[in-house]
């Protein structure tokens, strides 16, 4: 048995001033053939800088449990969340997938890792639909395709249709990438052997908010995800998925959805899908937690000050993990003006500053404007006066300079400063353990890596691309909760939403 595997993943912020090109994939993560095989092996590192094991390593592990399964590496392209995919990039991704499948020789199945919330421009708003269609055309109608998705995916008929299996994350923050690939791999192998006959259905819910903070370990989502696992223990149920949507997606049919796969039983699939949709609809009134102002966050940081460990301020208006640019100066400005006495480490994107300073000596006095290069209306430039104290290269964030502004240390980066891990600051010549405040640009995932040194955290709002009310810019085709209070039941809207999302 030969199973091919590949990844084409990016989560799109549809309202970003940037676009995503093939160069972004090539710079951030592109592994082909043997290099991908080695990266997903026992001693490999599937996504350096992000995670050593992810979905494709999970497939390899599933195959290793079988005596007659060979995995065939195609390629893996993974870009940071950012602006829409250009048409040329979308076409290049489809073409590359077709070519790699043709060169792979006879295969019995394909595992394809997508995100599910990739958006494009112009006449190609759903690039992942084209990617899946390209895979299905290359393989023909009979070769099973398993697709792994982020739980913030946006389902459409043309994403659901070409896939025999959809398997999504069940954690937020997402720490189950490996186990998602493992589950998908096991189901794919069973499908190829003819041991199961995947039969699927899905529902589209007219809701974009709900579930409180949507963290799987906390209520109300904890109960729902536990119920999903119990559903999969029922005879005939193969896989149950819940998708909570990416709020900065401009699909006119944006909303939560559920997807259920059974072993050849469409009635069971429909019943379970309705049951799960009811559970999700039942938490629609539980809105996200309130975000606080920078001044309130500064007061919290003062109260939680510690000799070891830092207070993490989540810059919710500039979350790179949700596709923002990373150049928000608003929180930095307040910390400069009102955060005296708190040693604060702040990341900021500014390629022009890098070009100006990267070749000057450490110790140089710096007085210039930083930030606000890509969208000065959204993130106004800021005048600073300080000293260059360190130069480094921070992987996917590119070249970096560290500026000492007194109680503030700013790490200025060439590309988006994805400071998911404390090592971001270590590599920039700073000690995050001795800081009072760390500004992070991640809603959830930073907690996985910062918990040993974190002495508290706050969701801080200024104004920016990842404010939750940006969702009001979506050109909704139908009424959605919570913007239309008249919706009492999801059922009358479901079929219309699914049909309209073609």
Neighbours of 222 (CB within 10 A): 12
Mean pLDDT for the stretch of residues 439-463: 93
What is the model's pLDDT at position 398? Answer: 97
What is the model's pLDDT at position 289? Answer: 87
Separation between Cα atoms, residue 229 and residue 373, nearest integer Å: 46
Mean pLDDT for the stretch of residues 238-256: 97
**pLDDT beyond 80 at 190:** yes
The pLDDT > 90 percentage for the chain reads: 94
List CB contacts of 193: < 8 A, sequence separation 6 or more.
1
Give the SS3 label for residue 378: coil
Q: Which of 22, 31, 81 is nearest to 56 (CA)?
A: 31
315 exposed, middle or buried (CB, 10 Å; 0-12, 13-18, 19+)? Answer: buried
Separation between Cα atoms, residue 90 and residue 162, nearest integer Å: 18
Average pLDDT along the chain: 96
DSSP labels for 32-85? Answer: ETHHHHHHTSTT--SBTTTBSS-HHHHHHHHHHTSSS-EEEEEEEEE--SBSPB
Residue count of the chain = 502
List CB contacts of 46: < 8 A, sequence separation 6 or more.
39, 40, 52, 53, 54, 56, 57, 76
What is the model's pLDDT at position 22? Answer: 97
The backbone region for 326, taken as left when phi is positive above 0, alpha when psi lies in -120 to 50, beta otherwise, is left
Q: Which of 103, 96, 200, 90 is nearest to 145 (CA)?
A: 200
The alpha carbon dihedral of 421, 423, 426, 431 has a sign of positive
Q: Are strands 145-149 and 109-113 parallel, antiparallel or unpaired?
A: parallel
Q: Which of 457, 427, 138 is nearest to 300 (CA)?
A: 457
What is the model's pLDDT at position 467? Answer: 97
What is the model's pLDDT at position 157? Answer: 97
The pLDDT > 70 percentage for the chain reads: 100
CB 6 within 8 A of CB 112: yes
Helix spans in 140-263 (H): 157-160, 177-192, 221-232
Mean pLDDT for the stretch of residues 415-422: 95
CA distances from 320 to 219, 417, 444, 464 (A): 26, 8, 11, 11
Separation between Cα atoms, residue 246 and residue 281, nearest integer Å: 17
DSSP labels for 232-298? Answer: HTSTTEEEEEEE---TT---TT---EEEEEEES-HHHHHHHHHHHHHHHHTTTT-PPPPPB-HHHHH
Q: At what angle do helices 87-103 and 127-139 cross, to 10 degrees?
A: 20
Mean pLDDT for the stretch of residues 393-411: 97
CB 295 within 8 A of CB 317: no
What's the pLDDT tens digit per position in 323-373?
A: 999 999 999 999 999 999 999 999 999 999 999 999 999 999 999 999 999
Residue 50's pLDDT band (boundaries 50, 70, 90)?
confident
What is the model's pLDDT at position 439? Answer: 98
What is the model's pLDDT at position 49? Answer: 82
CB 244 within 8 A of CB 171: no
CB 487 within 8 A of CB 206: yes
Mean pLDDT for the stretch of residues 37-62: 93
**pLDDT beyond 90 at 111:** yes
Separation between Cα atoms, residue 305 and residue 455, nearest integer Å: 8
Q: Are strands 310-315 and 454-460 parallel, antiparallel or unpaired?
A: parallel
**pLDDT beyond 80 at 502:** no
Give the SS3 label for residue 4: strand
**pLDDT beyond 90 at 308:** no
What is the model's pLDDT at position 360? Answer: 97
Mean pLDDT for the stretch of residues 108-116: 98
What is the model's pLDDT at position 458? Answer: 96
CB 368 within 8 A of CB 382: no
For the chain, the distance separating the N- and C-terminal CA atoms, rounded to the nearest angstrom, is 34
The per-type count for the chain, helices as H runs and strands as E runs, is 15, 17
pTM over 0.75: yes
Separation between Cα atoms, residue 191 and residue 171, nearest integer Å: 25
The alpha carbon dihedral of 168, 173, 177, 183 has a sign of negative
């Amino acid at each position: 048995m030969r199973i091919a595997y590949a990844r084409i993943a990016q989560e799109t912020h549809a309202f970003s001033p940037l676009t995503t090109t093939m160069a972004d994939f090539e710079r951030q993560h592109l592994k082909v053939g043997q290099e991908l095989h080695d990266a997903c092996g026992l001693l490999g590192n599937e996504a350096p800088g992000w995670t050593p094991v992810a979905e494709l390593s999970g497939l390899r592990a599933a195959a290793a449990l079988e005596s007659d399964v060979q995995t065939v590496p195609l390629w893996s392209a993974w870009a940071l969340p950012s602006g829409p995919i250009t048409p040329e990039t979308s076409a290049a991704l489809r073409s590359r997938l077709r070519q790699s499948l043709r060169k792979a020789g006879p295969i019995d199945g394909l595992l394809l890792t997508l995100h599910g919330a990739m958006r494009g421009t112009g006449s190609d708003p759903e690039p992942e639909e084209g990617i899946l269609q390209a895979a299905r055309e290359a393989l023909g109608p009979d070769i099973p395709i398993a697709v792994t998705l982020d739980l913030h995916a946006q389902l459409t008929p043309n994403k659901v249709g070409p896939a025999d299996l959809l398997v999504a994350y069940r954690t937020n923050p997402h720490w189950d990438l490996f186990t998602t690939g493992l589950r998908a791999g096991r189901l794919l192998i069973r499908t190829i052997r003819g041991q199961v006959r995947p039969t699927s259905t899905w529902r589209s819910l007219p809701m974009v908010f709900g579930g409180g903070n949507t963290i799987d370990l906390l209520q109300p989502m904890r109960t729902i995800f536990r119920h999903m696992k119990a559903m999969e223990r029922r005879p005939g149920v193969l896989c149950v998925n819940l998708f909570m949507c990416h709020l900065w997606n401009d699909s006119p049919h944006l909303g939560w959805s559920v997807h259920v796969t059974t072993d050849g039983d469409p009635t069971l699939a429909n019943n379970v899908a309705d049951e799960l949709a009811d559970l999700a609809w039942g938490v629609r009134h539980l809105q996200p937690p309130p975000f606080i102002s920078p001044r309130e966050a500064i007061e919290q940081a003062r109260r939680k000050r510690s000799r070891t460990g830092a207070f993490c301020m989540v810059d919710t208006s500039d979350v790179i993990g949700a596709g923002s640019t990373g150049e928000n100066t608003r929180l930095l400005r307040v910390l400069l003006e009102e955060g005296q006495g708190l040693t604060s480490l702040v990341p900021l994107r500014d390629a022009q500053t890098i070009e100006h300073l990267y070749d000057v000596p450490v110790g140089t006095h710096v007085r210039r404007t930083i930030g606000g290069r890509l969208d000065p209306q959204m993130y106004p430039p800021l005048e600073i006066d300080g000293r260059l104290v360190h130069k480094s290269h921070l992987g996917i964030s590119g070249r970096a300079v560290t500026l000492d502004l007194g109680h503030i240390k700013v790490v200025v980066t060439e590309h988006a400063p994805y400071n998911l891990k404390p090592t971001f600051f270590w590599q920039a010549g700073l000690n995050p353990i001795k800081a009072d405040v760390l500004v992070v640009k991640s809603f959830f995932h930073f907690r996985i890596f910062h918990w040993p040194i974190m002495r508290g955290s706050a969701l801080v709002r200024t104004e920016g691309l990842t404010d939750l009310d940006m969702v009001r810019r979506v050109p909704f085709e139908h009424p959605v909760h919570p913007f239309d209070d008249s919706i009492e039941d999801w059922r009358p809207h479901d079929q219309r939403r699914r049909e309209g999302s073609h």
